[in-house]
Amino acid sequence: MAEKQSQKHRKVKNPETFREKALKAVDDDAKENIFKKYIKKIIIISASPFKKVFRWFLETRFTKLIWKIIKKPVRFIGLILLPRYIRNSWKELKLVTWPNFKTSRKLTSAVIIFAVVFGIVVAIVDLVFNKLFKNVLLK
């Protein structure tokens, strides 16, 4: 009898440990890095003919001299034209960790559902107050 009862009980899977979660996160990062490496290789391969053609131009003393002369005025003009706030904002945007597609889809659907529910609640409250004021103030 005891054997039958033990067979009926389901085994509960242990929750993931912190280490397992960390390993999964590392695996996801590794997949993302592999994707980035492939994109980088594609860009390098597609740009290689242009690089071979213009290599002589990029490595000449003339180009280096022109860049040396233009570098400071261009930087100074950039400092004048772009306010500090915009430059700092751009730096902060580079540091942002953007959510993946699945997370952004979940968060967007949550916002849409909340907006619809809140709109319905506001419409109902507006309807109730409208009826109340018509009956109280107009009579």
pLDDT at 26 over 90: no
Mean pLDDT within 33-53: 67
**Lowest-pLDDT range of 10-24, 65-79, 93-107, 118-132:** 10-24
Q: Is residue 117 assigned to a domain?
A: yes
Q: Is residue 131 assigned to a domain?
A: yes
Boundaries of domain holding 108? 98-139
Q: How confident is the model at residue 138 (pLDDT cuts 50, 70, 90)?
A: confident
How far apart are the C-alpha atoms of 45 and 26, rounded to whole Å?
Answer: 28
Q: Over the stretch 45-62, which tens digit does the pLDDT of each residue have?
A: 666 666 666 666 666 777
**Lowest-pLDDT range of 7-11, 97-101, 114-118:** 7-11
- Residue pointed to by tokens 């909340």: 114
Q: Is residue 138 assigned to a domain?
A: yes
Q: Is residue 85 assigned to a domain?
A: no
What mean pLDDT, rounded, does the chain reach? 77
Residues whose CB is less than 8 angstroms from the CB of residue 16 and which lie 6 or more positions away in sequence, other chains included: 24
Q: Is residue 133 assigned to a domain?
A: yes
Residues whose CB is less than 8 angstroms from the CB of residue 127 and which lie 6 or more positions away in sequence, other chains included: none
Q: Is residue 69 assigned to a domain?
A: no
Comparing 129 with 14, the larger pLDDT belongs to 129
DSSP 17: P
Number of domains in the chain: 1
Q: How confident is the model at residue 93 (pLDDT cuts 50, 70, 90)?
A: confident
Q: Over the stretch 102-127, which tens digit does the pLDDT of each residue have?
A: 999 999 999 999 999 999 999 999 99
- Count of CB atoms situated within 10 Å of the CB of 63: 13
Predicted local distance difference test score (pLDDT) of residue 96: 85
Q: Is residue 88 assigned to a domain?
A: no
Q: Is residue 8 assigned to a domain?
A: no
